[in-house]
């Protein structure tokens, strides 16, 4: 999706502001001799930025306005090394709330709703974002924070909460707890605003059924305000994002080339209005694609597809970008296979070959199953893998993250 004139004008405002500052982006723009972008082509020449750049700016190297304008910081949890610290001005805080309120509205939440917020409060952006958006909308926030399931359920019943905000795994846990206690008739939830983790369509439906709600997929990341820069709608076909606040590109994660609408790749975000810490072409490493065409819901905001994982998980085979979640989604349509699988990619006789190992129990015709899986992969992804069906328990299990893809091509 080409950058519009209005968006370019906002990018130029940000560039002018950054050039005035002693920040990471200010230094970089000066180094590259960039003082503005006149066209979409110019924009594509702007250098990318990475999480590592942001981390190297620790603690306040991203701050792009005088400190007296900063009213708050947030920080992304650094699993390795230093965290990233994002400073916010009063306007940034307000802009975030406006976007988040828009998310609630997209999900059909109104000022008559009671919104139980279970994501955490603190340095990261989750809980407080859900709350600020809720208050902006005029709904009643019930700021629970995470954990303590008994208390969550008690408040949910006593206060007759109508909206649940949660990660998908916590929503499922609450749903199962409600089912196990047989208290569904005392629960008044009607909507779920669910975010921060990749979840499958199957999981969404299961949460919706058990809680009796419509569930919406909210998107965002700490570096770019936090959750609330986009959400799914009643059509449940992708995520609308707010293109008056961010410009979103999809690039090939290997070459950095812009990809056409509809093609899968890495999300790159430029913030259009952020003051405290604007981002220019920030590589998120999240995998998605622009969904072309209008949404049946009638919203004018563009859409990306549900996030399919991280670029670090992606492999390129026979010119096609493949990520494990695509294989997972296909295997989920076969009830006879277990949730374990392995993908082996090798290079034999001048061509790439993919072998897919799946598990099933002895009552199934292995050859027939292998053929059906291979056909479905071919029809959905575009090439035919060699499928090997093995007995349940043969594939390795790991308590940590299981390695799903073994690529021996470059060894
Ligand atoms: Zn829509």
Round to whole Å and give the CA distance between 315 and 320. 8
Distance 141 CA to ligand 1 centre (A): 25
- Rounded Cα distance, 76 and 59, in Å: 12
- Once rounded to an integer, what is the mean pLDDT over residues 28-34? 96
Helix/strand/coil for 340: strand
Is 314-407 in the same CATH topology as 89-311?
no
Which CATH number fits the domain 314-407, given the four candidates 3.40.50.2000, 3.30.1370.100, 3.30.300.30, 3.40.50.300?
3.30.300.30
Give the helix/strand (H/E) hosting 248.
strand 246-251
What pTM does this model have? Answer: 0.86
pLDDT of residue 133: 98
231 CA distance to ligand 1 middle (Å): 9
Ligand 1 center to residue 245 CA distance, Å? 18
Place of tokens 């694609």: 289
**Gap from CA of 233 to ligand 1 centroid (Å):** 5
Q: Domain limits of the chain?
A: 89-311, 314-407
Residue pLDDT, tens place only, 44-98:
999 999 999 999 999 999 999 999 999 999 998 766 678 999 999 999 999 999 9
Higher pLDDT, 78 or 395: 395
The pLDDT score that the predictor gives to residue 202 is 76
Q: In this structure, how many other beta carbons lie within 10 angstroms of the beta carbon of residue 31?
A: 9
**CA 130 to ligand 1 centroid distance, Å:** 21
What pLDDT, in 10s, does the model give residues 321-354? 788 888 888 998 999 998 788 999 998 888 888 9
Q: What is the pLDDT of residue 339?
A: 78
18 CA distance to ligand 1 middle (Å): 34
Ligand 1 center to residue 299 CA distance, Å?
6
Cα–Cα dist 215/57, whole Å = 37
Which of 318, 326, 319 is closest to 289 using CA atoms? Answer: 326
Please classify residue 212 by burial: count the beta carbons closer than 10 Å to its beta carbon, then call 0-12 exposed, 13-18 middle and 19+ buried.
middle
Q: Quick one: CATH architecture of 89-311?
A: 3-Layer(aba) Sandwich (3.40)
């Amino acid at each position: 999706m080409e950058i519009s004139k209005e968006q370019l004008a906002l990018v130029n405002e940000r560039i002018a502001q950054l050039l005035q500052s002693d920040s990471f982006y200010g230094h970089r723009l000066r180094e590259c001799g960039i003082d503005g972008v006149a066209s979409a082509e110019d924009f594509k020449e702007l250098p990318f930025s990475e999480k590592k750049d942001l981390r190297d700016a620790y603690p306040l190297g991203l701050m792009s306005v005088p400190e007296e304008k900063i009213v708050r910081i947030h920080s992304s949890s650094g699993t390795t090394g230093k965290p990233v610290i994002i400073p916010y001005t009063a306007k940034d805080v307000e802009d975030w709330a406006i976007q988040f309120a828009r998310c609630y509205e997209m999900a059909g939440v109104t000022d008559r709703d009671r919104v139980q917020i279970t994501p955490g409060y603190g340095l990261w952006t989750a809980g407080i974002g859900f709350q600020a958006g809720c208050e902006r909308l005029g709904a009643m926030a019930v700021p629970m924070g995470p954990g303590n399931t008994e208390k969550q359920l008690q408040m949910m019943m006593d206060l007759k909460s109508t909206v649940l905000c949660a990660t998908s795994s916590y929503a499922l846990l609450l749903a199962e707890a409600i089912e196990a206690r047989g208290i569904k008739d005392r629960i008044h939830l009607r909507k779920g605003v669910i975010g921060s983790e990749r979840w499958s369509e199957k999981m969404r439906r299961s949460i919706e059924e058990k809680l009796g709600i419509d569930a919406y997929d909210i998107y965002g990341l700490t570096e770019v305000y936090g959750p609330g820069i986009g959400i799914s709608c009643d059509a449940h076909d992708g995520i609308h994002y707010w293109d008056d606040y961010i410009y979103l590109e999809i690039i090939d994660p290997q070459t950095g080339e812009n990809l056409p609408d509809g093609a899968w790749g890495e999300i790159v975000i430029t913030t259009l209005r952020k003051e405290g810490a604007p981002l220019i072409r920030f590589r998120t490493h999240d995998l998605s694609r622009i969904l072309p065409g209008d949404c049946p819901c009638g919203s004018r905001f563009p859409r990306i597809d549900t996030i399919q994982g991280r670029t670090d998980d992606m492999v390129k085979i026979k010119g096609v970008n493949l990520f494990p979640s695509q294989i997972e989604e296909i295997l989920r349509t076969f009830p006879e296979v277990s949730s374990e699988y392995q993908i082996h990619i090798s290079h034999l006789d001048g061509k790439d070959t993919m072998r897919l190992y799946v598990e099933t129990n002895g009552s199934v015709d292995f050859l027939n199953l292998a053929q059906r899986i291979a056909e479905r992969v071919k029809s959905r992804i575009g090439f035919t893998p060699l499928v090997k069906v093995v007995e349940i328990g043969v594939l390795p299990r790991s308590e940590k993250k299981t390695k799903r893809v073994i690529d021996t091509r470059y060894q």
